[in-house]
Amino acid sequence: MKILIIKFRFIGDVLLTTPLVANLKTHYPDASIHFALNQGTQAVIQNNPQIDKIHIYDRGTIKKSNIFKRIWLELKYALELKKEKFDIVINTETSDRGIFLAKFSGAKTIVSRKGTNQILNKLITHESKPNGHIVMQNLSAINSLGKDIITTKVNLYFNNYDLNLPDYFIHIHPMARFDYKCLSNEAVAKIIDFCEIELDKRVVLTCDKNPNEISKMKNILSLCSSNPIVFMGNLSLDEVAFLSSKSKLYIGTDTAIMHMAAANDVPCIAIFGPSYTSAWGPWDNSKSKSLYQSKGGIQKMGIHTVIQNNLKCVPCGLEGCNNSGVSECLNSLDINWIKNEIKNHFITQNQQNLNKNYVEKVASSWIRLKIDTKEKALEHISKGYQNKKEDWLDRLQRQNQNDQDDPEETKALQDELAKMMAQIRGEK
């Protein structure tokens, strides 16, 4: 069996199609899965072991060609797909081209949402009815085939690289394909300085190699008082994926790099302008459904946070105010919202680390107090962690009454545990 997925969109769109691939592989384990996409978007799936072949549609070349060459290139691409003899073709967009290619391929099963051409719509054998987040919109094809959705995890595969990265850093990607999705350079510089100077966290910046993004990055750096690490458009998308996986936090716009960070299970603080968070918010892989609503303000989904102006017009879904390319909702966004969410992220993280370290410390101490194994101690402690913090020390002390250890050593241990207990309770 051969299955073709069609996604003629951008990089992030392609990445968010990987849960569909995973579900198809589960339901049709022996199937060969192919992917049709635009040139330049293949990097996020080229290492995916569940995809057997990628068919690249050179949209840029075809669009620039004269009418005769364009027809020839379109036909050549269609014939390439037809030669594969697909059994199932899934068109994930409202694309008349996708429906046509699906029918032209000779596939008996055509899964697609309706396009604009009513005649082509009649060719659809299994209509998908997408709703909600793009991940779930793509997965509606599984339901159309009469199958259950098994996983909603976005999968990103990449190679390892030696990029000389710091051990602990924040990844900031302030760019997007479209300027109407971006904060001002001044706002980005303030965020970088806040992380580097006030929070004492290293920042690593990335951008694309195109001249506009490089110029924008240079301008941002000129406004910074700090000295962040910068990759000035000299990384491949695969290298950016690797870099993202090593970061502790992503801060940036609604773009493909945000979706890559989320796929790497890196907490995201995403700044949205006119886009719909309900469709495009960073996806938490631990969830089975989206928790975003189509409104402004601060929204969360698992480890991810979306910050969006709460103007009445947000979200409008336009390319800036009245499609002007300029988004007032971003220009007027209170930067303190962003700073507070960054700060709160690390406060929460520090508390989680403190709690984890406390459990491990007590477990290690219980070994010294004749508990059999660290694993048993951890299991015992963790079970009562939330409700029994206050009696841990007392239990240790009672355990110690019959212990043969050095009294001074035991007293030092008790004092240390008492200090840690006070820290947990917030005492000085």
Within 196-348, strands assigned E span 202-206, 229-231, 249-253, 268-272, 297-301, 304-308
pLDDT tops 80 at residue 81: yes
Q: What is the pLDDT of residue 347?
A: 83
Per-residue pLDDT of 37-64, as tens digits, reads 999 999 999 999 999 999 999 988 888 8
- For 249-299, write each residue's pLDDT tens digit: 999 999 999 999 999 999 999 999 999 999 999 999 999 999 998 789 999
pTM (2 d.p.): 0.83
- Domain parsing of the chain, residue ranges: 2-144, 169-333, 348-425
Q: What token pair was written down for 23? A: 């579900």
**Half-sphere exposure at residue 383, Cβ-oriented, CA atoms within 13 angstroms:** 5
Residues 119-139, buried b or exposed e (16+ Cβ, 10 A)? ebeeebeeebebeebbbbbbb
> How large is the average pLDDT for residues 377-399?
51
| Domains 2-144 and 169-333 alike in fold | yes
Q: How far apart are CA 219 and CA 214, in angstroms?
A: 9
Question: CA–CA separation, 179 vs 396, rounded Å?
Answer: 60
Indicate if the pLDDT at residue 91 is higher than 90.
yes
- The CATH class of 2-144 is alpha beta
CA distance from start to end of the chain: 67
Asked if 307 contacts 271 with a C-beta cutoff of 8 angstroms, the reply is: yes
By percentage, how much of the chain surpasses pLDDT 70? 82
- pLDDT tier for residue 348 given thresholds of 50, 70 and 90: confident
Higher pLDDT, 386 or 128: 128
Asked if the model's pLDDT at residue 389 lies above 50, the reply is no
Statement: 169-333 belongs to CATH 3.40.50.2000: yes
152, 288 in Cβ contact below 8 A? yes
Asked if pLDDT for residue 425 goes beyond 70, the answer is no
Averaged pLDDT for residues 109-133: 94
Band (352; pLDDT cuts 50, 70, 90): low
Question: Which segments of 145-267 does DSSP mark as H helices, in order?
Answer: 185-193, 211-223, 237-246, 256-263
- Read off the pLDDT band of 343 (50, 70, 90): very high
Q: Where are the alpha helices (H) located in 369-385, listed in sequence order?
A: 374-383
Among 20-34, 153-167, 194-208, 337-351, the least confident range: 337-351
Please state the rounded mean pLDDT for residues 331-341: 96
pLDDT at 358: 62
Kindly tell me if the per-residue pLDDT of 393 is higher than 50.
no
Q: How many CA atoms lie within 13 A of 291 on its CB side?
A: 16
Q: How many residues in the chain?
A: 428
99 contacts 115 by C-beta, under 8 angstroms = yes
